[in-house]
Structure 1
């Protein structure tokens, strides 16, 4: 049964739930703003004074150097897969707390947050805030998530997610009043707020009025059984999980707090996301955001999206565009009336070569863990040549580290052991003892094998292959042969898990613009999915049940520092931890970065308030989210 076939039951259930929560809504008695009605809204909606919260988030566009917008219009954009419709919930970037342009965490959906001793978090929602269907939003929706979803073993057999645990301890959760809840741990939890601000947040709230009818604790058992049978699922829990899709946007019936919500009746090739008439942000002139009425996402072959963009088929496009498309996109600007903005990629490096420090082969393991070897590999790369050849000199050669836009940046993090110095690289290889060569001039390893490095790729980015071919030319001068092995993402990860992977190429550290208050997950071996150190990451994630305990001093220190960050109580303390972790990476060359800040093309057609220079990234950033897509508008 499709989601739409549930509508009759849903509408009846929602009506039953509304009177219970009606006390949370109501019209604001006094608003400092002269609120303006939004033209073109569907008939039957309450007036704007009843739709926005009694204490809305007032956006001061002038202070941000932006223009007050014009209401209306449709943003056309393209996606490569139907499931990418979920990106609307990243780009909209309505979060309990979110990052502003200076990377400070600020309340957004929440009216305010109070933190005591780094362990007591009091969250207050906006009085009169409503879901996209007009039902009140408040403390009950946070309670429902924590007590009835997160703690319910049938809905969530894996238990609470890590950001809600401190040394395995659950928080004490309290509802203080209709708009206020509190989470209390016995120790600091610096992970909590940054997690809420992610591009894909955990959504620690749920539309309780919508989901309760499908919950075994609240719903009518007979009705639930009938619906579960129609949906072909076994029981209330899988039915509830199928309907509870806050990020994926697969259920258009589920209410949302995002600026645009999926319209009913669209298809899996063209999605219409309509404005949320109950959205909580307004501009200083009293206009309820978003300015644009709808976002239409059309599914197209990813390889054709650059050509379709050049033909003028998108008003806002970055998805499926890459640096190599810039020349073609520039050629279409005059004819189609768009501009190609160049945003800097916020990754620590466009790509990095990753020695696998937990490789199974003992000879390779010893060599890859030798700091001199990694330094030699890094010194043997002409990054300036790669930047000029592949990126027309527009990138920044250097290590895989934080970018200058980060308050944690130091020049030496980017430059340490990153100069092209083949003489020094050769001297280091000799110092290691790799002095014997075969007839082709290739150095021999300790067991007599030629020093031939197979670097495996996921086969998803042709620029990685082009870069490795340039690296192979200069490594050959060191007596090292490089062979490129295109593969697939799943196979690459499997070879990392089994320890067969010697070296790979991947994009750089995800967050190149961190602050001290963001978790340093990119720098410590705490995730098994990282190709540099699966064994250590798996050991951390499984609490010692799997993987292997780190026995390499830099990795041990990085894990200790990460654990210290998890119990830190101040930004100064966290800053010191970040500084030491970044210094270790710079000195040890754990990842061999190539070029950073490579421009990402962002095509903009007729839209105002879209920055021409900005950062493009996932976390933090949510692609367009950090730049507040709800403030974009059409001048005409």
Structure 2
């Protein structure tokens, strides 16, 4: 049995012993004023009996001061979900070393990845002051996840192991348990995702909108007032655990939304019942408010340059660095550059499931994929787009991952025009058209239509250079920028021949993280959308993998799902990474992109250099924004 909890000094004791009897709990002045006016209970009645005590000593953090606001930008109201990622409040979450630790949970145990028990913090409350208990887990599981009106597809597929859902039990007011008949190693990592696997809902708030509990007449009035078709649509709209579109929905995060969309500026204020405290027992967060402004993505850098943001990462790229550096002296901010944890910034995805039979045959031939890889001069891409700071090679894990091997990065990734031409000649692609481009067996020019998200400017810049590289081997590249949603629809339908995008999103995995990006199990993967659809629909749609390598990757993924041993999981990961390097299913170019982070010069506890990614760092989430503060 593996058990994880707080430090021994804080285990199974009350807050005064956990924090030191001579060290009373402290709170922000803005909340102290509300306590004095009788509008809030004292902090000792708001913080859990065993709070989450932030670790500062080993993380180079200093005790902060209360007050201030963070100004930040998003492109549209839907992007408020990035507040959930950056706020990173999870039942179980990663720390900066990517270890899974309890957060909302006081502790958890698991036995062979089959039985998981979570213990909540006594006295923990939602942002409206209502107790957070195991009833919130029961409500979600029985009344939301298993309710076909609210969840027509049933619970998330992560809950399904060998076709069966777990046995869910409420052990008492503070403990719940999930049990499977076979290992489910995806379960814990899924709780730590930027969009985590959901296990609970604010039952006290949502019951008023649930057919099982609500007064019928009151519910009908609420449905009419919201102008929705039925109670399920109303419940799903108000059950806002991620998007922050409903200010009335209680939360457990550091800041709760008080001015929501539609608005040009959304406002978040500190949660009076937040469960984390600093090492001196002062309730976090340090900063009072987060102000989220709507702006055009093309103006993010300019607005930062004009001093209109205090903390910004999303929406900035290396192309913006000159503009950002230019404004630093005048506008009192600094620009940090953090390594981005992607396997490759510019990646090509030959579609093995494309509808065109001739292109399908070519894309499935490893010689064709290796030819296209060998024809790319990655050094030029690196120098032109990343100032020579990137890591050239395949789309694979980075050296910071414990799974890394040098061969994964270098195999079939060296610039060699002679080898590329030899591969293409060996394929029988020796004919040429009047412009000197090779021709397909049916007489068509070997012109690869590479589709790309029209907003991915850096990928488009890379494609312009790759166009020249491929011309040298007689391959014509036609770039087709388009809306991302249309691109995905075309990919799902098998209409794309090749897509250009970013590579592995999580390029610093451990063996305990699911190898989902390496296996044909997701429809959204541009190299095998129909294989992924087949897996996701359990064979009801799409195409079953029909190549030896595709079958093997799926077999290995299923073996990982059954694993409960780290050594076994490591072996599986390494074979999958080796297959990808050998087969070039995705054609990587350069990794090591740096993410600009604009930070107000007065803001402290922000790491000078840290890993940035969507998964696993949840953007800035694992670095605990609630610990950031402004110096005097």
Query: What's the TM-score once normalised by structure 2's chain length?
Result: 0.94
Matches within 5 A, 1:281-292: 281-292=276-287
Picking from 432, 448, 460, the partner of 2:455 is 460
Does the alignment pair 1:476 with 2:471?
Answer: yes
Match of 1:624 among 612, 620, 627: 620
- Mapped contact 2:19–2:280 kept (Cα < 8 A): no
CA contact (8 A) 2:353 2:528 kept: yes
1:233-252 matches, cutoff 5 A? 233-252=228-247
SS of the equivalent of 1:52 reads coil
Partner in structure 1 of residue 107 of structure 2? 112
Residue in structure 2 matched with residue 127 of structure 1 by the alignment: 122
> The residue matched to 1:444 in structure 2 has which SS?
coil
Equivalent residue of 2:409, what SS? helix
Work out which of the residue numbers 368, 371, 375 in structure 2 matches 1:373. Answer: 368
Among residues 380, 390, 393, which one is paired with 1:395 in the alignment?
390
Q: 1:29 and 1:285 mapped to 2: Cα distance? A: 11
CA contact (8 A) 1:150 1:160 kept: yes
Hey, what does 2:564 align to over in structure 1?
Answer: 569
Q: CA deviation at 1:445?
A: 2.2
Instruction: Indicate conservation of the 8 Å contact 2:534/2:543, yes or no.
Output: yes
Report SS of the residue matched to 1:271. strand
Which of 528, 535, 548 pairs up with 1:533? 528
CA contact (8 A) 1:266 1:272 kept: no
CA contact (8 A) 1:346 1:617 kept: yes
Alignment of 1:89-488 (within 5 A): 89-264=84-259, 268-488=263-483
Task: Confirm whether residue 610 of structure 1 aligns to residue 610 of structure 2.
Answer: no
| Other-structure match for 1:635 | 631
1: CA distance, partners of 2:599 / 2:52? 27
- Deviation for aligned residue 1:428: 1.8
Give the match for residue 9 of structure 2: none
How far apart, CA to CA, are the structure 2 residues paired with 1:168 and 1:377?
Answer: 40
Following superposition, the deviation at residue 432 of structure 1 comes to 2.2
Q: Equivalent residue for 1:61?
A: 56
Contact 1:27 1:50 in 2 (8 A): no
Secondary structure of the corresponding residue to residue 173 of structure 1: strand
- Offset at 1:248? 0.9
Contact 2:77/2:262, CA 8 A, preserved across alignment: no
Q: Determine if contact 1:57/1:108 at 8 Å carries over to the other structure.
A: yes
**Distance in 1 of aligned mates of 2:370 and 2:286:** 52
CA RMSD of aligned residues (A): 1.6
2:47 pairs, out of 43, 48, 52, with: 52
Q: How big is the shift at 1:366?
A: 1.5
Shift of 1:235: 3.3
Question: Offset of 1:186 from its aligned partner?
Answer: 0.7
Q: Secondary structure at the match of 2:29?
A: coil
Shift of 1:283: 1.2
1:37 aligns with 2:27: yes
State whether residues 253 and 264 of structure 1, in contact with CA within 8 Å, keep that contact through their aligned partners in structure 2.
no
CA distance in 2, matches of 1:618, 1:152: 31
Q: Deviations over 1:32-54 (max 9, x none)?
A: 34222321213421222111111
SS in 2 for 1:364: helix
Alpha-carbon distance between aligned partners in 1 of 2:568 and 2:591, rounded to the nearest angstrom: 28
Q: Per the alignment, do residues 84 and 488 of structure 1 end up closer, same or farther by CA in structure 2, a change over 3 Å counting?
A: closer
User: Is the Cα–Cα contact under 8 Å of residues 538 and 548 in structure 1 kept in the other structure?
Assistant: yes
Provide the rounded CA distance (Å) in 2 between the counterparts of 1:410 and 1:369.
25
How far apart are the structure 2 equivalents of 1:94 and 1:265? 20
Q: How far apart are residue 267 of structure 1 and its match?
A: 5.5
Q: Contact (CA 8 Å) 2:305, 2:327: kept in 1 or not? A: yes
**Alpha-carbon distance in 1 for matches of 2:54, 2:460:** 45
Q: Pick one of 541, 544, 555 that aligns with 2:550.
A: 555
Instruction: For 2:495 and 2:441, locate their aligned partners in 1 and report how far apart those are by CA, in whole Å.
Output: 19
Partner-residue secondary structure (3-state), 2:488: helix
CA distance in 2, matches of 1:562, 1:28: 44
d(CA) in 1 for partners of 2:469, 2:78: 42
Q: Distance in 2 between matches of 1:624 and 1:29?
A: 31
Q: Which runs of 5+ in 2 are unaligned?
A: 1-12
Q: Deviations over 1:412-451 (max 9, x none)?
A: 1111111111112122222222223334332222233222
Residue 607 to residue 577, structure 1, CA distance change in 2 (3 Å): same
Greater shift in the superposed pair: 43-52 or 440-449? 440-449
* Structure 1 residue 272 displacement after superposition: 1.1
Residue deviations 1:327-385, cap 9 Å, x none?
01001111111110011111211120110111122221121111111111101000110
The worse-fitting range, judged by mean Cα deviation, of 263-272 and 426-435 is 263-272
The answer to whether the 8 Å contact 2:260/2:267 transfers is: no
Deviation at 1:117, TM superposition (A): 2.1
Per-residue deviation, residues 387-406 of structure 1 (Å, max 9, x unmatched): 10112112211111111121
5+ residue gaps, structure 1, are 1-25
For the residues of structure 1 that align with 2:235 and 2:164, how far apart are their CA atoms? 27
CA distance in structure 1 between the aligned counterparts of 2:424 and 2:410, rounded to whole angstroms: 21
Helix, strand or coil at the partner of 1:348: coil
Q: Distance in 2 between matches of 1:607 and 1:29?
A: 30
Matched, 1:78 2:102: no
Which runs of structure 1 show a deviation greater than 6 angstroms over 4 or more consecutive aligned residues?
Answer: none
CA distance in 1, matches of 2:393, 2:434: 34
Indicate how the Cα distance of structure 1 residues 431 and 137 shifts in structure 2: closer, same or farther if over 3 A, else same: same
In 2, distance between residues paired with 1:527 and 1:360? 18
Could you tell me which of 579, 589, 592 is aligned with 1:594? 589
Comparing 465-474 with 114-123, greater Cα deviation is found at 465-474
**CA deviation string 1:562-586 (max 9, x = no partner):** 1111111122211111111111001
